[in-house]
Structure formats: C-alpha cells, structure tokens
Amino acid sequence: MKPKIMVLYYSMFGNTYKMAKAVREGIEAEGGESVLRTVPELVPQSVIDGDEKIKKAKELQKDIPIIKLDELENIDGMILGSPTRFGNMCS
C-alpha cells in the first residue's frame, strides 16, 4: 500500500508553493501518494490586490484546495512548508 503524504503549505509570493510542488513530485516519484493543500489566507484582499507580485502568486495557487480538518484522518504523514521572517513561521 502506498503511503499517503499531505504537503501543507502557505505561500505569499509563490516560492514556498514552488517548493511544495517539488516535494509532491518527489513523493510521487518514490511511489507515494501525495495531497497538496494550503491554508486560509489571512492577508486582506485589498493588500493582495494592491501588490502585483502577490496577486500573480495567488493566481497561480487558486486551484489548490484549502485543507479541511477531516482530511487529516486519511493521511499517513505530513510535510509542512512556510516562509519565514526573522526566523519565525507565518501565523
């Protein structure tokens, strides 16, 4: 049976998103099953709309589902991805 691994990430500018996709590809290349999910956005839409770089990155990620709590019951492992600022994870 293939292990089912969730790759859960947050990405404002798209860099962590790109890494999460690469991790997912690695899981599948090694014979595992991967699930790519993100978290709800905390940045106000007005901030996203006011910054072209953020807006472009969010558009690339628009089809990635937001995690649902019940999905955690059906996975064998999880890999977390978050950008950092001064060594701290995003809230």
Q: What CATH number belongs to 4-89?
A: 3.40.50.360
Q: Is the pLDDT of residue 65 over 90?
A: yes
| pLDDT, tens digit (0-9, with 9 covering 90-100), for 13-56 | 999 999 999 999 999 999 999 999 999 999 999 999 999 999 99
Q: For the chain, how many residues are written?
A: 91
Q: Cβ of 46: how many Cβ atoms within 10 Å?
A: 8
CB-based contact 30:18 (threshold 8 Å): no
How far apart CA 75 and CA 84 sit, in angstroms, is 26
pLDDT score, position 54:
95
pTM, full prediction? 0.91
Judged by phi (left if over 0) then psi (alpha if -120 to 50, else beta), residue 31 lies in: left
Q: What is the pLDDT of residue 35?
A: 97
**Domain edges within the chain:** 4-89
